[in-house]
Amino acid sequence: MAGQALLAARGLTRDFRGFRAVDHVDLDIAPESVHALVGPNGAGKTTLFNLLTGFLPPTAGTIALAGRDVTGLPPERVARLGVARSFQITSLFPQLSAREHVELALQSPSGLGWRFWRSATLMRRYRDRADELLDMVGLAALAEAPAEALAYGRKRALELAIALALDPKVLLLDEPTAGMGLEDVDRTVDLIATVRQGRTVVLVEHNMSVVGRLADTVTVLQAGKVLVEGPYEQVRADERVITAYLGAADAAH
């Protein structure tokens, strides 16, 4: 099992001042699958994300990417190895335009970022690709707009565009549809369904219909532990899950 997984966690644990946010989690993300992490608030989903992307060092446990141990690597190294993430709370560069965001992401793997003696106009080499990606997420008309001027749903779309610009092996999306209207949710789901081709996607999502439409595998977390794992239909029918989480969520939707 571990040999097949693209991203694998073993005994992953994270403590915050005595509070155990993630508790001995084993996780195997199969290549080219969409894997959803669900669970009530405080279940440890975002902490798990931060552990997988190097933003937090684990208290215990290991993380392997394509069989390589990446435990404790800083986030920029993890990103370079092909793990891109979006943030739960939109995280952009307020002053930069949408296109400049994508250009900055496209530039990252090259050494161009170190060239302090060259002109920034060199970054125009990324313009066509940047515009393609912006078009893909429906932001073509807003390429020049500074991020701070974008509406919420558009910011989420830009997050996705810059994550895709890294051409990652694994794409970790933290609540990509949070706070979106129905129309934007549909468009984002379609978009993820498109970009998952040839990629592995890990998704934290509260919206169970989104999970149902996208996920091959669902892991339900509760109080930092894996409660159930399996295909969506199976997880959905699981008694423990219904008691812990889905019952309440289904009633809400």
Partner 1 sequence: MTATVDTEAAPARSGLLAVARAPGWVRYALLAAGLAVALWLPNGLYPAVAVDILCWALFAVSVDLLLGFTGLMSFGHAAFWGTSAYLTGLVAVHAGLPFPVAVLAGAFGAAALALPIGYLAVKRTGIYFAMVTLAFAQMVYYVANEWRSVTGGENGLQGVPRSLFGLDLTDDYYFYYAILPIVLFGLAAAWRITHSPFGRVLVGIRDNPARARALGYPVHRYKLTAFVLSGFIAGLGGGLFAVGHRFVSLDVLHWTTSGKAVIVVVLGGIGTLWGGVLGAAVVVRLEDWLSFSGFEAIGLVTGGIFVLVVLLFRRGIWGSVAALVLRWMAARRR
Positions touching partner 1 (CB under 8 A) are 53, 55, 74-76, 79-80, 84-85, 87, 91-97, 100, 103-105, 107-109, 112-123, 142, 144-146, 148-149, 162, 166
Shortest CA distance to 45 belongs to which of 34, 54, 32, 36?
A: 36
Q: What minimum distance in Å lies between the beta carbon of 201 and partner 1?
A: 16
Shortest CA distance to 133 belongs to which of 114, 112, 159?
A: 159
Q: What minimum distance in Å lies between the beta carbon of 54 and partner 1?
A: 8
Q: Which is nearer to partner 1, 40 or 109 (CB)?
A: 109
Q: What minimum distance in Å lies between the beta carbon of 130 and partner 1?
A: 13
Q: What minimum distance in Å lies between the beta carbon of 236 and partner 1?
A: 32
Q: Which is nearer to partner 1, 85 or 156 (CB)?
A: 85
Q: Retrieve residue 153's tokens.
A: 């749903």
C-alpha 100/C-alpha 84 separation (Å) is 18
Question: DSSP class of residue 73?
Answer: -
Q: Which is nearer to partner 1, 89 or 182 (CB)?
A: 89
C-alpha 187/C-alpha 183 separation (Å) is 6
- Residue 9: exposure state from Cβ atoms within 10 A (0-12, 13-18, ≥19): buried
Q: What minimum distance in Å lies between the beta carbon of 127 and partner 1?
A: 10
Task: Give the C-alpha distances (Å, rounded to integers) separating 243 from 152, 170, 217, 251.
Answer: 33, 31, 20, 12
Q: Which is nearer to partner 1, 14 or 99 (CB)?
A: 99
Q: Which is nearer to partner 1, 78 or 208 (CB)?
A: 78
Q: What minimum distance in Å lies between the beta carbon of 93 and partner 1?
A: 4
User: Other C-beta atoms within 10 Å of 99: how many?
Assistant: 23
Q: Which is nearer to partner 1, 145 or 242 (CB)?
A: 145
Q: Retrieve residue 94's tokens.
A: 């307020």
Question: DSSP class of residue 223?
Answer: T
